[in-house]
Amino acid sequence: MLTPRQEPLLTESQIRERIDQLAEKIVADLGTDKPFVLAGLLRGCFMFTADLVRALSIRGATLKELDFMVASSYGSGTESSRKIDIQRDLQADISGQRVLLVDDIIDTGHTLKLTRDMLLTRGPEYVKTVTLLDKPERREIDMEADYSCFSIPNLFVIGFGLDYDQKYRELPYITVMEEV
């Protein structure tokens, strides 16, 4: 049976500190002269997004709109055969806007790439991708997040928004699912 490991992989304070650093970098790179549209990918993004928007706000960034989408990639492995299924689209008009596309993790890379490419067809000023976690060993396509808090090994992790069968999203830290 798979259960959450007792010792966190990333503690609450490590996560908090790193989100602050990332917000600092985003504000330094992108400026605070124009508000962002933040587009979060539900459901995994919810906790990271809540912390990220506050960390950005403290540093002078403002949001034009906070919006969410529900999307998943489907189809077999290769780049060309993967498609994106949008179960809930953005309500925000992102034409001409600076968009931060936020997800919990970049794993194979399909979800973030397909979602970003779809948003790019709507004429935004830009779309920057932001993730809490990155599992580079699992990548199947040429895709990197513009901003990512932690690079982790190829392990299945839960907590801080990430689930195993819809469970454990509420945990305030990240831990590994392991066989007992």
What residues act catalytically?
107
Cβ-proximal residues to 17 (8 Å cutoff; 6+ apart), any chain? none
44 binds Mg ion (CB under 5 A): yes
- Please, what is the minimum distance in Å from the beta carbon of residue 58 to ligand IMP? 27
DSSP type of residue 8: -
Select from 161, 75, 152, 69 the least CA-distant residue to 106: 152
Q: How many residues bind Mg ion (CB under 5 A)?
A: 1
161 binds Mg ion (CB under 5 A): no
Q: Which does 14 bind (CB under 5 to 8 A by kind): ligand IMP, Mg ion, none?
A: none
- Please, what is the minimum distance in Å from the beta carbon of residue 109 to ligand IMP? 5
Identify which of residues 98 and 116 has a Cβ nearer to ligand IMP in the complex: 116
Tell me if 150 sits within 8 A of 18, measured CB to CB: yes
Q: DSSP per residue over 77-139, as a string?
A: SSTTT-EEEEEE---S--TT-EEEEEEEEESSSHHHHHHHHHHHTT--SEEEEEEEEE-GGG-
8 binds Mg ion (CB under 5 A): no
Tell me if 49 sits within 8 A of 176, measured CB to CB: no
- Please, what is the minimum distance in Å from the beta carbon of residue 44 to Mg ion? 4
- Please, what is the minimum distance in Å from the beta carbon of residue 105 to ligand IMP? 5
Tell me if 26 sits within 8 A of 56, measured CB to CB: yes
Stretch that binds Mg ion, among 2-10, 25-33, 42-50, 149-157 (CB under 5 A): 42-50
DSSP reduced 3-state for 19: helix
**Sites of contact with ligand IMP (CB under 6 A):** 44, 73, 103-112, 156-158, 162
Identify which of residues 15 and 45 has a Cβ nearer to Mg ion in the complex: 45
Identify which of residues 44 and 109 has a Cβ nearer to Mg ion in the complex: 44
Q: Which residues bind Mg ion (CB under 5 A)?
A: 44
